[in-house]
Structure 1
Amino acid sequence: MSDAELTVTVTGPVATVVIHNPARRNAMTPAMWRRLPVLLDGLEADPAVRVLVLTGAGGTFCAGADLGDLDELLAAGDGSIAVAAEERLAAFGRPTVAAIEGACVGGGCQLAVACDLRLAAVDARFGVPPARLGLVYPVPTTRRLAGLVGPSAAKHLLFTGDLVDADRALRIGLVDEVLPAAALADRVAALTATIAERSRLTVTAAKEIVDGRVDADRIAWWHAQVRDSGEAREGVAAANERRPPRFDWSPPAPR
C-alpha cells in the first residue's frame, strides 16, 4: 500500500472507501482528490452496491487537504479538484455514510458534509479552518454546510475556525449520532445493513427529493416507477404477512 491513497472494499451491498495517508493524518493529496470521483463512478455503476461508507484509516477521518501549490489553489477558486470531488460525492446515487473518528477538519469536514449521514466516535473533532488561512471557503461547500447546520452555526464554524467536539457537532446537526469509538464500526454496519434492506426505489427517490434535484417531470417519473415496479404492493403484502419484503427494483442507467 502506498503512503497516500484511497482504498475500496465491497462487502455484500456495502462499499467502503478508506482515506489512507498516515504521515499526514489522512490529509487528502491532489492525487486522492482526483481519484475519488473515478472510484465513485465505478461504484455507482455496480448494481450490487446499495450503500457507501467513507471513513479514514487508523482512527482518524481526515485532517484536511494538502494545499500543495498555493498559486494553483488560488487560481482554481470554486473550480478546485476538492470541490469537484465533493460535488461528485454529494451526487452519488446511493446513500452515503461518513464514519468519523479523530480529526475531521477542512477537506475532511468538506467530505463528511457531502455525505448523507454522519456517525461519529466520541473522540471526533470537527473544524472549518479557512479563516485561519485567509482563504474563502468554496460557495457550494459553504451552502452545503449552512444547509446542514443552519446559518448561525455555519458562521460560527467559519468565522472562528475553531475545533468543536462530537457532542457540540451533534447538537448543531453536524453529525447524526455519537458513539463510543469501540461501538462505531458495529453501528455503521447495522445502519448500512438496514438501509440496504429497504426499498431502493424509496431510498433513491428520497435522496433526490431531499437534495432538491428533482423537477416536475422527475417526480412524475418516480411515481410511475412506484406504479409499474410492484414495490409498493410487495411492501404492503409483506407487512400484512409479517415477513421481510422482497424488494427487487434496480435503478436504470444514469440519466
Structure 2
Amino acid sequence: MAEITYTSPTERVQSWMDEDGSTLHIRFNNPERHNALSVDMWEAVPVLLAQAETDERVRLVVFSGAGEKAFVSGADISQFEDMRAAREAVARYELMAEQALMGIYNFSKPTLACIRGYCIGGGVNVAMSCDIRIASSDAVFSIPAARLGLGYRYSAMKNLVDLVGPGVAKDLFFTARRISAVEAKEVGLISRVCAPDQLPALLAEYTQALAANAPLTVRAGKAIVAEILKPSPEVDFDKCRALIQGCFQSEDYAEGRKAFMEKRKPVFRGK
C-alpha cells in the first residue's frame, strides 16, 4: 500500500505521524485564542480522519492543543456574528460541528484526547467524542452553554450523560461551572490525570500499548461498545432538534452573544 502523507487543509490544525507510524496526531493550533475552534478547524478534522481510516498503519489518533494553556477553549467567538447569528448560518455551523464530532465518535479506530489547560464548550465535545481522555492536573473543564443561551445538540448531551450519568450531567450543564481535572476524573469525564510534566509519558503509555495490541480485536471491541450504546428507537429526535433550534432563535441567544462580545453578564429573560 502506498504511504499516505497527512496534510491538513488549514495551518490551524497540525497533523503528523509518530516515528513508528502507528499514531496520527491532530493538534488544534490557534494558541492566540486558546485553540478556539474556527470554521476551517472544524472542516479539517473529517479530512484528516478520512485519510487515517484507510491507512493500515494507524492504530490510534491523538487530539491535543498547541501550547500549554488550552486543549480547546470553545468556539472562535470572533466568528459568532458571521457564522451563528442568522438561521442559515446556525444550520451550517451546527452541521459542520456535528460532522466533525460524529466523525471522531464513529471513527473505527481508537481515539484519545490529550488535555492540558482549558477544555471548554466545544473542547469538551471533542474530548467526549474520543474513546479515551487523559489530562494534566492543570486542566479545567466547563460546558458554558447556559451562559450563552445556545442550544446543545442531542449527540453532545448523550455523550455527556453516557460518560458521567444524568445527575452529574445536569449539574455541569445547568450551572456551567468550571471543574478541575481531579473532579473531572472523579465524575468520569476523563480516565486519568497526572502532573503536567508527566503528560508526555502518560500519552506514550497509550501510544505504545495501541501499537503493540491486536488492531482487529481493539476495533471489534470499539464497534461492539458502540452497539451497546445505541439510542432507543423511541427517542424523539424531531423534538430534540426543535428544542435546540428554539434556543438559537431566541432573544436569549442574541443576548448571550452580545453580552459575551461586550464582556458583561447576560440578562436572560426566557424568551
Taking structure 2 as the reference length, the TM-score comes to: 0.75
CA RMSD of aligned residues (A): 2.2
Q: Which runs of 4+ in 1 moved over 6 A?
A: none
In structure 2, how many angstroms separate the alpha carbons of the residues matched to 1:136 and 1:6?
Answer: 26
Q: State the secondary structure of the residue aligned to 2:28.
A: strand
Identity rate of aligned residues, in percent? 36
Q: 1:42 to 1:3 in 2, by over 3 A?
A: closer
Q: Does structure 1 residue 150 correspond to structure 2 residue 154?
A: no
Amino acid in structure 1 at the alignment position of 2:16: T
1:208, 1:214 within 8 Å by CA — same for their partners in 2?
Answer: no
Aligned to 2:60: 51
Matches for 1:47-196 after TM superposition, within 5 Å:
47-59=56-68, 60-67=70-77, 68=79, 69-72=83-86, 75-76=90-91, 79-196=94-211
Q: State the secondary structure of the residue aligned to 2:150.
A: coil
Q: Which moved more, 1:106-115 or 1:64-73?
A: 64-73
In structure 1, how many angstroms separate the alpha carbons of the residues matched to 2:228 and 2:166?
Answer: 22
Q: State the secondary structure of the residue aligned to 1:58.
A: coil
Q: 1:213 to 1:151 in 2, by over 3 A?
A: closer
1:3, 1:20 within 8 Å by CA — same for their partners in 2?
Answer: no
Q: CA deviation at 1:78?
A: 8.8
Aligned to 1:33: 42
Structure 2: give runs of 5+ residues left out of the alignment: 1-7, 231-271
**Per-residue deviation, residues 200-248 of structure 1 (Å, max 9, x unmatched):** 1110010011122799xxxxxxxxxxxxxxxxxxxxxxxxxxxxxxxxx
2:10, 2:40 within 8 Å by CA — same for their partners in 1?
Answer: no
Q: 1:134 to 1:115 in 2, by over 3 A?
A: same
**Per-residue deviation, residues 122-162 of structure 1 (Å, max 9, x unmatched):** 00000111100001111111111110111011111110111
Structure 1: give runs of 5+ residues left out of the alignment: 216-255
Q: CA deviation at 1:76?
A: 1.3
In structure 2, how many angstroms separate the alpha carbons of the residues matched to 1:2 and 1:50?
Answer: 22
Counterpart of 2:12 (choices 5, 15, 18) is 5
1:78, 1:138 within 8 Å by CA — same for their partners in 2?
Answer: no
Counterpart of 1:23 (choices 28, 32, 36) is 32
In structure 2, how many angstroms separate the alpha carbons of the residues matched to 1:197 and 1:151?
Answer: 36
Q: CA deviation at 1:45?
A: 1.5
Q: State the secondary structure of the residue aligned to 1:52.
A: strand
**Per-residue deviation, residues 55-97 of structure 1 (Å, max 9, x unmatched):** 0010120101124232247731894311110000111111111
**Per-residue deviation, residues 158-181 of structure 1 (Å, max 9, x unmatched):** 101111100110000000000000
Taking structure 1 as the reference length, the TM-score comes to: 0.79
Q: 1:211 to 1:116 in 2, by over 3 A?
A: same
1:3, 1:23 within 8 Å by CA — same for their partners in 2?
Answer: no
Q: How many residues align?
A: 215
